[in-house]
């Protein structure tokens, strides 16, 4: 039986012991979000797919609002995967921009697809938005969103001094995410299972791309952090399950 917003707000209030302003998300690709409100209150934003969720999922949502744990995160992720069609139907995705100033991601994707995946992958591939201006200590070069089968590449990789084999490796890495789903053992999610790493290392220009990255990491971090910043709000949120990508360090 669907839960109404007042009932859910009351449960959240009881669980968090705070005043709760509940907001319903309809077109967002975010499923849950918790923001600080006025005078110690908390704003909890919840996607509408939760209003007809089964009781165990609602329990996980309430537990998450009190304190996010690996267990509650996993329960919410699992539910989002089960409701992927509903999420996909109402999410607004920004239009893809595969052709940058110097790099054509679609061309790279298409040739890697033929060369390594028998042409089977059907992902959307796009440059992400320009990153906020701040000193970066790590950089996420790319991400794969399984919900929308969409690969997003950091716009810093569109600069003219980036080695082609490096962009190719990043696109290849995200394509492997599309081809090899993350594996869940108990509460831990393995985004890069052993067969993933093995296939990645077989990329023909792997060593050259990694060596180039090592030589150019400082410059990459500097230039990725140099774009004008949109305003930032302190938030704590879980997007729909999204596989992590290459990061530095590790
Ligand atoms: Zn990855």
List the single range of 46-50, 54-58, 134-138 with lowest mean pLDDT.
Answer: 134-138
**CA–CA separation, 122 vs 119, rounded Å?**
8
Across residues 178-203, what is the average pLDDT? 84
Distance of CA 128 to the CA centre of its chain: 11
pLDDT digits (tens, 9 = 90+) for 61-85: 999 999 888 888 888 988 888 888 7
Distance 172 CA to ligand 1 centre (A): 10
Distance 168 CA to ligand 1 centre (A): 14
In contact, 44 and 21? CB cutoff 8 Å: yes
Q: How confident is the model at residue 248 (pLDDT cuts 50, 70, 90)?
A: very low
24: nearest Cα among 49, 2, 59: 49
How many domains does the structure of the chain reveal? 2
**CA–CA separation, 144 vs 151, rounded Å?**
5
- Last residue within a domain, chosen from 42, 62, 90: 90
Whether residues 131 and 73 share a domain: the answer is no
140: nearest Cα among 162, 108, 173, 164: 173
3-state secondary structure of 189: strand
Please say if the pLDDT value at position 208 is more than 70: yes
Distance 249 CA to ligand 1 centre (A): 13
Whether residues 117 and 66 share a domain: the answer is no
194: nearest Cα among 205, 182, 203, 204: 182
The dihedrals phi and psi of 214, each to the nearest 5 degrees, come to -60, -45
Whether residues 151 and 195 share a domain: the answer is yes
Distance 239 CA to ligand 1 centre (A): 16
Please report whether residue 11 resides in a domain: yes
For residue 28, the model assigns a pLDDT of 65
Please report whether residue 244 resides in a domain: no
Distance 69 CA to ligand 1 centre (A): 22
Whether residues 72 and 114 share a domain: the answer is no
- Last residue within a domain, chosen from 36, 60, 90: 90
Domain containing residue 24: CATH number: 3.30.2010
Distance 203 CA to ligand 1 centre (A): 14
Whether residues 156 and 114 share a domain: the answer is yes
Please report whether residue 243 resides in a domain: no
Whether residues 164 and 207 share a domain: the answer is yes
For residue 242, the model assigns a pLDDT of 42
Strands 20-25, 42-47: parallel, antiparallel or unpaired by DSSP?
A: parallel
Domain region containing 29 = 5-90
In contact, 193 and 183? CB cutoff 8 Å: yes
In contact, 47 and 31? CB cutoff 8 Å: yes
- Last residue within a domain, chosen from 23, 55, 90: 90
Across residues 10-26, what is the average pLDDT? 92
Distance 14 CA to ligand 1 centre (A): 38
Please report whether residue 160 resides in a domain: yes
Whether residues 11 and 79 share a domain: the answer is yes
Distance 175 CA to ligand 1 centre (A): 9
Across residues 109-125, what is the average pLDDT? 96
């Amino acid at each position: 039986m669907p839960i109404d917003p007042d009932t859910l707000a009351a449960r959240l209030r009881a669980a968090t012991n705070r005043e709760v302003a509940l907001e319903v998300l309809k077109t967002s690709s975010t499923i849950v979000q918790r923001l600080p409100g006025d005078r110690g209150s908390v704003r909890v934003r919840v996607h509408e797919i939760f209003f007809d969720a089964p009781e165990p999922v609602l329990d996980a949502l309430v537990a998450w609002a009190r304190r996010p744990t690996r267990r509650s995160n996993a329960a919410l992720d699992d539910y989002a995967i089960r409701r992927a069609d509903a999420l996909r139907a109402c999410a607004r995705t920004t239009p893809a921009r595969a052709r940058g100033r110097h790099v054509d991601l679609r061309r790279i994707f298409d040739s890697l697809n033929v060369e390594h995946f028998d042409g089977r992958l059907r992902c959307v591939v796009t440059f992400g938005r320009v990153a906020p201006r701040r000193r970066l200590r790590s950089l996420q070069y790319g991400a794969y969103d399984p919900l929308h089968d969409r690969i997003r590449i950091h716009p810093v990789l569109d600069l003219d001094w980036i080695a082609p084999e490096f962009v190719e490796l990043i696109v290849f890495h995200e394509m492997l995410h599309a081809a090899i789903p993350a594996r869940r053992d108990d509460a831990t999610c393995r985004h890069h299972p052993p067969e993933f790493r093995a296939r990645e290392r077989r990329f023909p220009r792997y060593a050259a791309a990694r060596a180039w990255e090592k030589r150019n990491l400082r410059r990459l971090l500097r230039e990725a952090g140099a774009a004008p910043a949109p305003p930032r709000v302190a938030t704590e949120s879980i997007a729909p399950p999204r596989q992590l990508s290459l990061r530095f360090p590790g």
